[in-house]
Amino acid sequence: MKYFSTYLVSSRFLPLIVAPATRGQQPEHGDPDAPLPGHFHQLLRWDTKTFPSQPRDIISLACPCSAPESPLVLEPYDFLFDTGVEAYYNGDWLSVILNMEKALKNKATVRKVKAQCRLSCANQTAFGDHVDGVGVPIPGAGSLEDLGFFQKILKRADCVNSCEMEKLGHPTMHQVTEEIQLEFNKRSPYNYLQVAYFKINKLDKAVAAANTFFQANPDHMEMRQNLEYYRMMAGVQEEDFKDLEARTHMAEFLLGKRYYSDDSFGLAAEHFEVAIDEFFTADKECKALCEGAYNYDGYNYMEYSADLFQTITDHYMQVLNCKQHCAVELALNTGKDKAFEDFLPSHFNYLQFSYYNSEKYEQAIECTKTFLLFHPNDEVMNQNLAYYSAVLGEDKAQTISAREVVKQYIHQSMLEKKLLYFGYEAFGITFVDPDTWTPEDVMPNKLREKQKAEKETAARITEEIGNLMKEIETLVEEKKKDSSDMTKIIATPESVPLLHDGIKVTMTAKLLNGSQRVLLDGVITEDECRELQHLSNAAAQKGDGYRGKLSPHSAGEMFQGVTVLKAVKLGQEGKVPLKSARLFFDLSEKVKKMLESYFGLDTPLYFAYTHLVCRSAIEEKQEDREDLSHPVHVDNCLLISEMNECIKEPPAYTHRDYSAILYLNNDFEGGDFIFTELDAKTVTAEVRPQCGRMVGFGAGKENPHGVRAVTKGQRCAVALWFTLDPAHEEKVWIISVDRGQDYKGIM
């Protein structure tokens, strides 16, 4: 941070801003240390006594078709934006603030009024209602029924038009160019505001504006630099770094995830519940705003000559496409290119586990059943439901239903999808389903077969390109690593602390067909292997580490484990030999040092979790078994094998950086360790466990791995996960170190 010191000598620092060059030259900078004008605080309150020529622009939204008490013309926000930009180049900071703040407020008002008018008019002129003189509510076999339907359309159009005219003025007043729309999408007004607020010494507002702009423009280096400077300035508080455009449903969802990651399940549930309520509010608004003007994209407006029903079809398909896209729109976090996958269902996934940890089984069952509306065949969630029902009581669990609002949401979405797929099949109007939970049979067979063929072709091309790239990468990697790998193998113990007596590098990353991988042999002796296996059978708990689940990964195996802390505690209580507990403790440290050395880490590793585990085949459950002992996964991200992706976000252990598995025996059948590609199918390397053998690897998406089924006997190993972040060091390990010091001298 010392290289910033020259900037801190003077408080006359001006944050950077990239403004449109066509607006003219920047004026000479004024003095940011000038005292606040006496009328500034009235400006912030929009005091009409101080600014008599500027209306407050407060618009009543109570009833969309009633005349307002005092009609006011809402100033177009594009005009206000242009006026603010001009004021910026004239150095008129108060005018910049006034116009930019009003532009933002008026744009939000236009959006709110349009959504509210359309929702209110939909309620007043629902198509399902009967029309006077017509016996049916929808078009039927004759022209009379059609007239009744179109009468409803005309009434809806009149209602919306009257509502918007009364609240906003003539529709053309608030039509803006794509250029202006882009400026607001990029949050450009906040770029100007942060400078203007800084110039009048309102640092809290300058910081909030800068941070709001940066959230949508995370690659904007000048703004990143500005925020770094602001953090070092006197008087700036952490709470000043707000996102003034944060959407409530997303902010609450992210807060819920944060509390969930900290195991604060009660608080997590509160925020997820608010996020769900806000999601449905935002979803209604988003879908209402889809009912706007037709976008003639791909057509010349003057040459568009579709007949009545084709015109209606084109526009309605566009509206439905827009409404389906709301699922993506609401799942996008500002500044991110990719939306959260399965966004709405994931709320109920987080909630069911949060309520389970809070021992609120009724709510856990409700959320589990709601999640299953989206993914009815989800194996884990069905197991959870069975468990929660058993705890609460089957009879009581039967009375609990999934949430009605979600049932309605899915029902409406499914109807929209069916219409869109019909339009796709009948008229060639493309529809790409944004949801992963849509049942396969919703898509017509012809389209399903066509898309399947296209996916297979794309997959084949991708595979061919991938194989070619892999060959190129292998050639490059071989040149880079041959010398360093050879050095590690032949170096003396003094230069490479990894190679203790008897330890050898059996396979490098190259031989294991990947990166950040190594296989070592001779890490511990046969006697030490037997001692640790005895410790596991004496101290381990069934289901340990997996909330008591006896078979957490496979119904064909029993799982048991013990942590370092538990072993040390039992050793001090005389229930297991202290020598065995100490061995467990010491070899964990030994593995850590070997990984640090082999992978050439500049910073130390910290224990994230350490587990002595055994998997035992259940004899009567081995017939026709085809599953894995531990399914293919990645240690620090959520593997989505169908998409060859791994998403680094909770509930994955995102802080894990390196992993190691030290094997204790080989007198069992099956149980080989495998590395795969991200598809979880293509095996790139296979390791047969044996006493003293250790596989170490990076915990990221470069190393998907799993364990083949143990079909006979018991397979034991020490599993270790490490982090480079001391904030995530395993609490129980810290305690174990303290206890280890207590008995170090008596062994």
Query: Using omega within 30 degrees of 0 as the cis cutoff, is the peptide bond preceding 651 cis?
Result: yes
C-alpha span between 193 and 739 (Å, rounded):
57
Q: What are phi and psi of 506, to 5 degrees?
A: -85, -40
The three-point CA angle 557-559-563 to 5° equals 165
What's the rounded Cα separation, in Å, for the pair 156 and 117?
10
Distance (Å, whole) CA 2 – CA 464: 50
Distance between CA atoms of 70 and 66, rounded to whole angstroms? 12
Q: Which amino acid does the sequence have at 29?
A: H
- CB–CB of 188/204 below 8 Å? no
- The one-character DSSP state at 634 is B
Q: Which positions are catalytic?
A: 715
Q: Which pair of tokens denotes residue 605?
A: 């590793």
- Sequence-distant (6+) residues with CB within 8 A of 353 are 260, 265, 364, 651
CB-based contact 407:370 (threshold 8 Å):
no
DSSP output for 478-532 = HHHHHHHHHHHHHS-TTT-TT--TT-EEEE-TTTTTSSSEEEEE-SS-HHHHHHH
Residue the block writes with tokens 């292997």: 529
**Which residues partner with 695 through β-bridges?**
519, 661
| Other beta carbons less than 10 A from residue 50's beta carbon | 14
Facing residues of 694 across strands? Answer: 520, 662
Please give the C-alpha separations between residue 518 and each of 458, 489, 506, 695, in angstroms, as whole numbers.
34, 12, 8, 6
Q: Are strands 645-647 and 705-707 parallel, antiparallel or unpaired?
A: unpaired
User: Residue 664: which residues within 8 A CB-CB, separation 6 or more?
Assistant: 529, 530, 532, 533, 536, 691, 716, 717, 718
The region, left, alpha or beta by phi > 0 then psi within -120 to 50, assigned to residue 522 is: left
* Distance in angstroms (rounded) separating the CA atoms of residues 104 and 191: 12
In contact, 347 and 403? CB cutoff 8 Å: no
Distance of CA 286 to the CA centre of its chain: 20
Q: Cα–Cα distance between 517 and 21 in angstroms, integer?
A: 52
- Interstrand relation of 673-676 and 714-723 (parallel, antiparallel or unpaired): unpaired
Is residue 587 within 8 A of residue 528, CB to CB? The reply is yes
- 135-139: long-range contacts, CB 8 A cutoff, minimum separation 24: none
DSSP output for 37-74: PTTHHHHHTT-TTTSTTS-------S-TTSPPSS--PP
- Tell me the two tokens of residue 726: 């001391």
